Amino acid sequence: MPMLHMGLAKLSEESGELQLVLGKLQQTIGKMLQYPELQTAGPPHQHPDGTNLRECMQVEMGDVMAALDFVRGKLELDHTAILDRWQAKLKLFNQWDNEP
């Protein structure tokens, strides 16, 4: 299998693993909303099954970022255009975070 196909397959796999962690995060937030006694001062990092969501997110995000960069290189995509879009989206997300 050509390296690009392997890279695209890896990107798909890693994105799926990140989705699993995001699902556990959603479950945790849902439980916190249902049961105020579970609420803490900070963001939820522990899933009820004992999974450390912070550690899982770091690992899976790193894997997705590596797969994205590999595919970007193989397809010779414009890195500057990607970074410009990334900056624009990050600015928008930060604006949302600062809204009342």
Average confidence (pLDDT) per 10 residues, the chain, 100 residues: 79 86 78 66 65 81 90 92 95 86
Are 52 and 94 a contacting pair, CB within 8 Å? no
Burial 19-57 (b: 16+ CB within 10 A, else e): eebeebbeebeeeeeeeeeeeeeeebeebeeebebeebb
- Please state, in angstroms and as integers, the Cα–Cα distance from residue 61 to each residue in 16, 17, 70, following that order: 11, 9, 14
pLDDT, residue 42, reads: 54
pLDDT, residue 41, reads: 46
Q: How far apart are CA 87 and CA 54, in angstroms?
A: 23
